[in-house]
Amino acid sequence: MAINKEIVEYVAHLSRIELEPQELEKISGQLSSILDFIDKLKGVNTDNIAATSHILPLSNVLRQDHPGISLSSQKALANAPEKRDTFFIVPKVIE
């Protein structure tokens, strides 16, 4: 698909981008070469290629989740500016 200056100018107008005449020529050439490359990629046979989301094999590196000793309610609330029973009191943020 060929991209000419008129198409680039129209898209620039729609996206409210002001381009100089030399920029229109440069961008139309760049977009044409991008679309030509995409057309080449469409011709590649990918029937036996497994779908991937990333080119490198990635896996999450997580530590083991072991239960441990936690704070008591009294220690957790020790420095709280306001508290009631075993709860923190915070300002209302939703009306």
pTM here? Answer: 0.49
Is 63 inside any structural domain? no
Is 24 inside any structural domain? yes
Which pLDDT value is given to residue 9? 92
Which pLDDT value is given to residue 1? 65
Is 92 inside any structural domain? no
Residue range(s) defining the domain that contains residue 32: 5-42
Q: Would you say residue 95 has pLDDT above 80?
A: no
Closest CA to 8 of 17, 37, 38: 17
pLDDT band at 16 (very low <50, low <70, confident <90, very high): very high
Number of domains the chain contains: 1
Looking up residue 19, the CATH number of its domain turns out to be 1.10.20.60
Is 17 inside any structural domain? yes
- Contact yes or no for 1/31 (Cβ under 8 A): no
Is 32 inside any structural domain? yes
Is 74 inside any structural domain? no
Closest CA to 73 of 83, 86, 84: 86
Percent of the chain with pLDDT over 70: 99
